[in-house]
Homo-oligomer: A and B are copies of this chain.
Amino acid sequence: SRRRKAARRDMTVSRRTQPGAAPGLVLADPSAPRPVIHVMAYGSEDFAEFDAATPDAACDQIGKHPLVWINVEGLGDAVAIERFGELLNLHRLSLEDTVNVHQRAKIEDFGNVLFVVLRMVGCGERCNTEQLSMFVGGNYLLTFQEGTPGDSFDRVRGRLREGNGKVRQLGSDYLAYTLIDAAIDNYYPVLEVYAERLDELEDQVLEPRNREVMKRLHEVKSDLLILRRAIWPLRDALAQLGRQDVPRISDYTRVYLRDCYDHVVQVVELIETYRELTADLRDLHMSSVSNRINDTMRVLTIISTIFIPLTFVAGIYGMNFDYMPELRWRYGYHMTIAIMIVSTIGMVIFFYRQGWIFANKPTEI
């Protein structure tokens, strides 16, 4: 639970610079991993791949190959990030957004580059998310990740290395699309995990004594809340990218981005569907708890209604009055017992007719 809270806090409130500080201040989180700079430089014919030691070494490739993809994993070094800003003439605000990793997904056009921010989701034990910041330049693509181990881009790298498919012939916008598409496709397995969880919970909501159900439903619901917050703004951002008037996006790529948009809308709708389903399951569980209270009450009422009057009758003849004629009768005792049995049978018949006992439906108290 502590881990969950940490996850939620981490995902909802962003660590921001101090109020009133100069805008565009690049304050790296000291606990963030040190950046690892990976460069892939390629064209239809040529291909080079290496880890660069410094931003300068990485940016040096730009212009020497048709397209250079510089991927920085880890945001722990403000100096390196600022150096990228100087070398590629990036706006300070976009660098600040890169470092303050809880931005809403957005597209910002700075003339020389297109700045794209979105949240990727990873599916470990529970969903964790990571910010992907992209600078789409004319002949380069610069991406920053938070540095969580493992990313969803290995398959993209494989396609670049093998050089089959069209990705080596196309520009930075198409490469950016490829990464965005991979990031969005990653939401599907995460959602599948929640679909499974809801299926399990659906079996359990009708067990009124299962105290975990409500708690787990609450967990699923707040995880879905986090996922929705992560993907929701991406919808608007991609709708904006799919429009005619965004520079740096070719018509060829635009068709693919519209496909991305459709996937995002589908993910958003799935999340909404799951949220409604969760609310339904909660209602169903609450109703089963109410039914159980009802059942418990009924057992108590049946027992009390049968035995309390009988006990009273026994109490009557347990009185010590000197003159109680019935006590002296020869069959007084037997008559009393007989009356008790008859009245009990009457009660049972009454309850049966009311459907309180031996009803056709077994009461699963």
Chain A residues within CB distance 8 Å of chain B: 1, 5, 8-9, 12-14, 16-23, 91, 93, 97, 102-104, 106, 108, 110, 152-156, 159, 165, 167, 177-178, 181-183, 185-186, 188-189, 191-192, 195, 199, 202-203, 206, 208-211, 214-215, 218, 221-222, 225, 229, 232-233, 255-256, 258-259, 262, 265-266, 269-270, 273-274, 276-277, 280-294, 296-301, 303-305, 307-312, 314-324, 326-333, 336-337, 354-356, 359, 361, 364-365
In the complex, the answer to whether B307 meets A317 with C-beta atoms within 8 Å is no
Provide the bound-state CA to CA distance between A258 and B108, in Å: 9
Listed A/B pairs (10) with beta-carbon separation below 8 Å: A19-B152, A20-B152, A22-B167, A222-B277, A225-B273, A282-B283, A296-B297, A314-B316, A319-B336, A356-B365
Query: Which B residues touch A104, using CB under 8 A?
Result: 262, 265-266, 269
In the complex, the answer to whether A321 meets B332 with C-beta atoms within 8 Å is yes
Query: Which B residues touch A328, using CB under 8 A?
Result: 322
In the complex, the answer to whether B185 meets A17 with C-beta atoms within 8 Å is yes
Query: Which B residues touch A110, using CB under 8 A?
Result: 255
Provide the bound-state CA to CA distance between A103 and B259, in Å: 10
| Most-contacted residue by chain B among A12, A183, A222 (CB, 10 A) | A12
